[in-house]
Structure 1
Amino acid sequence: MTCRKIAIASIFTALLVSAALLRAQVEEPRPIIFAFDVDISLSDKAAMKLKMQRESIVVSAVYSGAPKPIEEKRAEEIGMIDLGVENVEVVGAEGMVRVTGTKIDIKRLDWMKGPVMLNVNVFSGRHASGDNILACDFFDGKLSSAVKRPVKLHCSLITEGEKTRHKD
């Protein structure tokens, strides 16, 4: 075989490998990213009370999804597949909180159809008092929306009577 034929064969082989890799990338589903950020803001009164009581804030993330018809028997009471819950407790001050998504049971994704859904609630850590003292906005929507940009949730004291808002 001449050098020219070897070079052509090498180029042809490289093109075949590249085409196979591109085809595999297109056919492979993109991995689901479960981590997201929550940007918590506090009313002045809530910030002051949390600081005075040295109380923490808990961000609770519940992951779920709709079952495939064949997997409906695995659904919980509300008809969804439970993927897991992650609670992140932080110092009682406003700021960014990272939810890693490491508590998720990824084997259950095979039981689902459609997108992964996410519900995020925020409440006080209940160390200084047995009761939650915060009224906070909440997120209820697609995980993909929360991954794109931080979820902005505002909290006030329950006693302030501020209306909470649904974010999605």
Structure 2
Amino acid sequence: MIRHLTGELLTCLIGRASTLKLVPAILLLTAAAGQAAENYAFQFDITLSDRAAAALRDANETITVEAWYFGLPNEAGREHAEGGFVYLGSESMELPPQTATVRVSGKTFDPSRLAWIEGEIVTAVSVYSSRRSSDDNLITCDTFHEELKTVQSEPPALHCVLNDEL
């Protein structure tokens, strides 16, 4: 229905013949946006100790993954920097408490901000319990802070344990 309404709207705005000429351009732009996001996508593995997985499941707890993109500011980017970095996007997701390969899609990456950085794009990831069953984080997990190209070529593995397993 949405596709039908969009087609009718385009027809009303610019005429039927012009609408047909726009369809390939719209499809090309949609594909380009998807390809741009794919350029910034990466993945990594999360593993949990047996005790952490069992405790989180027993508590009906999930895990939260937060991933950020950033870069060092160039001269033009200094006014856009926060904490010494130019923020380029982030993603957050909630997952069941189990071993998984996590895919960060890159859809929130803002390529217009690349003009404000020098050097490589950097990614950082943090994993913690989602605090559904407790106000406290129940697990301690590895983190990473690496160049995007490194993470894309060598996906890291993050391991999580219960805080009392340390």
Q: TM-score, normalization: structure 2?
A: 0.74
Whether the aligned pair in 2 keeps the contact of 1:119 and 1:140 (CA below 8 Å) is yes
Counterpart residue type for residue 119 of structure 1? A
What pairs with 1:1-168 in structure 2 (closer than 5 Å)? 33-76=39-82, 78-161=83-166
Count of aligned positions: 131
Q: TM-score, normalization: structure 1?
A: 0.73
Q: What is the percentage of aligned positions where both structures have the same residue? A: 38
Q: Which runs of 5+ in 2 are unaligned?
A: 1-35
Q: 2: CA distance between counterparts of 1:32 and 1:41?
A: 25
Whether the aligned pair in 2 keeps the contact of 1:58 and 1:122 (CA below 8 Å) is yes
Shift of the 69–96 alpha-carbon distance from structure 1 to 2, 3 Å rule, reads same
Q: Whose Rg is larger?
A: 1
Shift of the 34–64 alpha-carbon distance from structure 1 to 2, 3 Å rule, reads same
Q: Which runs of 5+ in 1 are unaligned?
A: 1-29, 162-168
- The Cα offsets for residues 119-159 of structure 1, whole Å up to 9 and x where unpaired, read as 11111111111211110001111011111132200000111
For the residue of structure 1 that corresponds to 2:58, the secondary structure is helix
Shift of the 34–133 alpha-carbon distance from structure 1 to 2, 3 Å rule, reads same
- The Cα offsets for residues 66-89 of structure 1, whole Å up to 9 and x where unpaired, read as 11113211111x211011221121
- The Cα offsets for residues 32-59 of structure 1, whole Å up to 9 and x where unpaired, read as 8211112111111101101111211111
- The Cα offsets for residues 90-115 of structure 1, whole Å up to 9 and x where unpaired, read as 11111111111211222111111111
Whether the aligned pair in 1 keeps the contact of 2:37 and 2:106 (CA below 8 Å) is no
Whether the aligned pair in 2 keeps the contact of 1:115 and 1:142 (CA below 8 Å) is yes
Whether the aligned pair in 2 keeps the contact of 1:56 and 1:124 (CA below 8 Å) is yes
Q: 2: CA distance between counterparts of 1:97 and 1:105?
A: 21
Counterpart residue type for residue 69 of structure 1? E
Whether the aligned pair in 2 keeps the contact of 1:62 and 1:118 (CA below 8 Å) is yes
Whether the aligned pair in 1 keeps the contact of 2:38 and 2:106 (CA below 8 Å) is no
Q: 1: CA distance between counterparts of 2:84 and 2:38?
A: 22
Shift of the 156–98 alpha-carbon distance from structure 1 to 2, 3 Å rule, reads same
Structure 1 outlier segments of 4+, above 3 Å? none
